[in-house]
Amino acid sequence: MAPALLLFGAFVLWPIARTGWLSLHDWNLVSPDREFVGLDNYSELLGDPDFHRLLGRTLMYVAIGLVGGFLLPVGLAMLTLRHAGRATGVYQTLLFVPTVITTAVGALVWQFMYLPSGGPVNELLDTVGISPVNWLKDPSTALPAVGVVGAWQNLGFSYMIALAGLSAVSPTLLEAAELDGASGWQLLRHVVLPLLMPTLLFLATTAVLHALPNVFVAIEILTSGGPAGSSSNLLYDVYSNGLRFFRVGEASAEAVVLMALIGGAAVWQMRLIERGVTYER
Amino acid sequence: MSASRHRLGRLIGNAVLLAAVATTLAPLLWMLVTSLRPKQDVFDGALPSALTFDNFSAVLHSVDIGRQLLNSVIFAGGVTLGQLAIGIPAAYAFSQSRGRWSRWAFAVLLLTMSVPFVVVYLPNYILLSEVGLLDSHAGMILPQVASAYGIFLLRQHFQAFPRAIVEAARIDGASEWMVLWRVVVPASRSAISALAIFVFISTWNEYVWPQLVAGAPGMQTLSVGVAAFASEEAGTQWGSIMAAATIACLPTVAAFLALRRQIFNVLLEGAVKG
């Protein structure tokens, strides 16, 4: 166990502690003088309207993550369990393909898809009479456009997990709920949903926790957070503030805020797991 | 009535699923078609006028794919071996000890799993630059070896291993080290190889970390190289960019199609068995 703890100490725990320490400083990564500023970085962040906007965008990404990483895969998984039969494996394999290609390539392909003139997305919209959109350069479309790329690359993953989680509930029960005409809705509400609830909660919290990491590379390659920060989020800003603009103190303070939020979500999820979300396979 | 209603539901359900599959795969098909088109008709509708490998040979001429492949193999292979070398003994120790201290250590480990790796990129970058490991294989690999996922997964497996056998080996005088490598590990071969496949593919696919600490031309992995190639071409030569993208996809897609059962198993155990 010792070498594992050593490595974790050096490359995970020490960096986290160091992030906390750096967040109390003003530093540009190269200059020899590093000024201790106490909690200034935090109070600046909290009072900064740009930071509030950043939090809003972070929430937007979480919402997209919930649709693409929870609602959509759960819906597809339910359809699969009810109707796909022996084709299940084929759907599972094909939907998973984008997940196994490198995120950088996924983003490049979508850069092409989104090209303002001649890009397949705009060409397709043109056939139904919608005029071309400059998806990645327009502040109002950049965030959802990037969010779609992240959701696209991770749909296969959440679909597979949803499929496994939901198949633990007996399909005859779903059928019973549907066949029982008048009281079908009530059966669904009072029998099926409570049974599925632990699985659904688990999938939803996973979708929330994965929402920001899942769009990271797409943001980096497609927009770098722009235009004018409109497609950034808290996780991406930690990276770009620290490693592109070398505002180490501010980036570290953001990282601490982010870790507090994630830690809360993760502890909540672990509680859910402890409450007995386990499946037989 | 219920039979025909059922058949209709089945039809609609499968139609929706097929539509989802088609939408999901469309960008990749588009990538493939674009990579095989002559340069001048990249934007000429859905169907290419002719098929050609010109774009591929253009990529192979201007990019040192061999070097990048080698870097990717070293990076992914190093991280995989490192995670196994560290993770197997750690997982075994966690699976055997019931003490308060080790329960706490394990809880901390689990919590680090949900910290996005990006959060520690900045301090790790500073650390690597301080010890002079930027643009080196060791620098790329070492921080990525510290991953809780494998430890977590293998611990589950080792815990399920019959205690009686472990006890019997101990009574026969085997050291803990021997019990682990001679008894427990051989019996968990399939779980370990599934984990190795998964770690290898996901490390192979990493982009931000290798680009950050090993972006120098001779050190680029395949993912980093493709992105660098695309930005050099500055969004003009889409045929060759898509050819480079296709080349970068091929190894992992092929590996996935061949090994999908193991990959699904390891993901499910990590995610669902909690």
Instruction: Give the CATH number for residue B254.
Output: 1.10.3720.10
Q: Of B14, B115, B257, which has the smallest distance from its Cβ to A262's Cβ?
A: B115
Q: Of B10, B87, B226, which has the smallest distance from its Cβ to A83's Cβ?
A: B10
Looking at the structure, do residues B189 and B115 belong to the same domain, yes or no? yes
State the virtual CA torsion across B224, A237, A216, B271 in degrees, nearest 10: 130
What confidence category does residue A175 fall into, taking pLDDT thresholds of 50, 70 and 90? Answer: low
Overall average pLDDT of the B138-164 stretch:
86
In the prediction, which pLDDT does A63 show?
95
Q: Which of B117, B124, B149, B150 is nearest to B139 (CA)?
A: B124
Report the sign of the C-alpha dihedral through residues B145, B146, B147, B152, in that order.
positive
What confidence category does residue B274 fall into, taking pLDDT thresholds of 50, 70 and 90? Answer: very low
In the prediction, which pLDDT does B188 show?
86
Distance CA A92, CA A13 (A): 37
Instruction: Return the higher-pLDDT residue of B135 and A173.
Output: B135
What confidence category does residue B8 fall into, taking pLDDT thresholds of 50, 70 and 90? Answer: confident
Which of A88-92, A185-189, B126-130, B219-223 comes out lowest in average pLDDT? A185-189
Looking at the structure, do residues B15 and B43 belong to the same domain, yes or no? yes
The two structure tokens encoding residue A178: 């549907």
Provide, as residue numbers in chain A, all residues whose Cβ is less than 8 Å from the Cβ of B118.
213, 216, 235, 238-239
Distance CA B11, CA A280 (A): 30
Provide, as residue numbers in chain B, all residues whose Cβ is less than 8 Å from the Cβ of A238.
118-119, 122
Q: Of B25, B30, B263, which has the smallest distance from its Cβ to A94's Cβ?
A: B25
Residues 66 to 125 of B: which have CB under 8 A from any A CB? 85-87, 89-90, 93-94, 102, 105, 108-125
For A48-75, the pLDDT digits (tens) are 888 889 899 999 999 999 999 999 999 9
Measure in Å the smallest separation between the Cα of B180 and chain A Cα atoms. Answer: 13
Which of A263-279 are b and which e, b meaning 16 or more Cβ less than 10 Å from the residue's Cβ? eebbeebbebbeeebeb
Measure in Å the smallest separation between the Cα of B210 and chain A Cα atoms. Answer: 12
What confidence category does residue A279 fall into, taking pLDDT thresholds of 50, 70 and 90? Answer: very low
Provide, as residue numbers in chain B, all residues whose Cβ is less than 8 Å from the Cβ of A102.
204-207, 222-223, 226, 248-249, 252
Measure in Å the smallest separation between the Cα of A244 and chain B Cα atoms. Answer: 10
The two structure tokens encoding residue B21: 């599959």
In the prediction, which pLDDT does A280 show?
34
In the prediction, which pLDDT does B37 show?
85
Supply the range of the domain harboring residue B25.
2-53
Q: Is the peptide bond before A227 cis (omega within 30 degrees of 0)?
A: yes
Looking at the structure, do residues B98 and B198 belong to the same domain, yes or no? yes
In the prediction, which pLDDT does A281 show?
32
Q: Of B9, B24, B212, which has the smallest distance from its Cβ to A95's Cβ?
A: B24
In the prediction, which pLDDT does A223 show?
92
B142 vs A: CB within 8 A: yes
Residues 127 to 146 of A: which have CB under 8 A from any B CB? none
Domain count of chain B?
2
Looking at the structure, do residues B37 and B145 belong to the same domain, yes or no? no
A5 vs B: CB within 8 A: yes
In the prediction, which pLDDT does A186 show?
67
The two structure tokens encoding residue A72: 């959509």
A124 vs B: CB within 8 A: no
In the prediction, which pLDDT does A147 show?
96
Measure in Å the smallest separation between the Cα of B253 and chain A Cα atoms. Answer: 6
Q: Which of A62, A53, A33, A50 is nearest to A207 (CA)?
A: A62
Please check the confidence at residue B199 and state whether its pLDDT lies above 60: yes
User: Could you state, in order of their start, the residue ranges of all structural domains in chain A?
Assistant: 42-164+200-274
Looking at the structure, do residues B78 and B211 belong to the same domain, yes or no? yes
Distance CA A27, CA A35 (A): 7
For A72-131, the pLDDT digits (tens) are 999 999 888 888 888 888 999 999 999 999 899 999 999 999 988 888 898 888 888 888
* Burial class for B81, CB neighbours closer than 10 Å (0-12, 13-18, 19+): middle
In the prediction, which pLDDT does B31 show?
92
For chain B, what is the mean pLDDT? Answer: 85
Contacts across the A-B interface (CB distance below 8 Å): 250
Q: B28 and A262 in contact by Cβ < 8 A?
A: no
Q: Give residues with Cβ within 8 angstroms of B165, minimum separation 6.
A: B183
For B160-189, the pLDDT digits (tens) are 888 888 888 888 888 888 888 888 888 888
Which of A18-32, B76-90, B154-168, B209-223 comes out lowest in average pLDDT? A18-32
In the prediction, which pLDDT does A228 show?
86
In the prediction, which pLDDT does A182 show?
45
Q: 3-state DSSP call for residue B32?
A: helix
Q: A251 and B272 in contact by Cβ < 8 A?
A: no
Instruction: Return the higher-pLDDT residue of B185 and B4.
Output: B185
Please check the confidence at residue B74 and state whether its pLDDT lies above 90: yes
Please give the share of chain A, as a percent, with pLDDT higher than 70: 86
Distance CA A214, CA A200 (A): 20
- The radius of gyration of chain A from alpha carbons, rounded to an integer in Å, stands at 22
CATH dotted code for A42-164+200-274: 1.10.3720.10
Distance CA A28, CA B87 (A): 36
Distance CA B168, CA B178 (A): 13
Q: A97 and B256 in contact by Cβ < 8 A?
A: yes
Chain A, nearest residue to B207 by Cα: A104
CB A259 within 8 A of CB B115: yes
Q: A259 and B9 in contact by Cβ < 8 A?
A: no
CB A102 within 8 A of CB B223: yes
Looking at the structure, do residues B28 and B134 belong to the same domain, yes or no? no
Looking at the structure, do residues B120 and B22 belong to the same domain, yes or no? no
Overall average pLDDT of the B9-13 stretch:
85
For chain A, what is the mean pLDDT? Answer: 83
Looking at the structure, do residues B194 and B250 belong to the same domain, yes or no? yes
- Characterise B50 by phi-psi region: left (phi > 0), alpha (psi -120 to 50), beta (else): beta
Return the amino acid letter for B159: Q
Looking at the structure, do residues B230 and B94 belong to the same domain, yes or no? yes
For B38-61, the pLDDT digits (tens) are 877 777 766 777 788 888 888 888
What confidence category does residue B3 fall into, taking pLDDT thresholds of 50, 70 and 90? Answer: low
Q: Of B13, B108, B146, which has the smallest distance from its Cβ to A7's Cβ?
A: B146
Distance CA A14, CA A8 (A): 8
**Substitution target from A105, A115, A124, A275 for chain B, most B beta carbons within 10 A:** A105
Residues 243 to 272 of A: which have CB under 8 A from any B CB? 243, 248, 251-252, 255, 258-259, 262-263, 265-267, 269-270
- Helix intervals (H) in B172-237: 176-178, 185-187, 189-204, 208-213, 222-232
Looking at the structure, do residues B118 and B23 belong to the same domain, yes or no? no
Residues 245 to 264 of B: which have CB under 8 A from any A CB? 245, 248-249, 252-253, 255-257, 260, 263-264
For A239-278, the pLDDT digits (tens) are 888 777 778 888 888 888 888 888 888 787 777 766 654 4
CB A95 within 8 A of CB B24: yes
Overall average pLDDT of the B60-69 stretch:
86
Q: B9 and A118 in contact by Cβ < 8 A?
A: no
Looking at the structure, do residues B105 and B82 belong to the same domain, yes or no? yes
Asked whether the ipTM of the predicted complex exceeds the cut of 0.90, the reply is: no
Residues 189 to 248 of B: which have CB under 8 A from any A CB? 201, 204-208, 212, 222-224, 226-227, 230, 235, 238, 241-242, 245, 248
In the prediction, which pLDDT does A178 show?
63
Looking at the structure, do residues B107 and B206 belong to the same domain, yes or no? yes
The two structure tokens encoding residue A262: 């994630």
Q: A108 and B241 in contact by Cβ < 8 A?
A: yes
Return the amino acid letter for A166: L
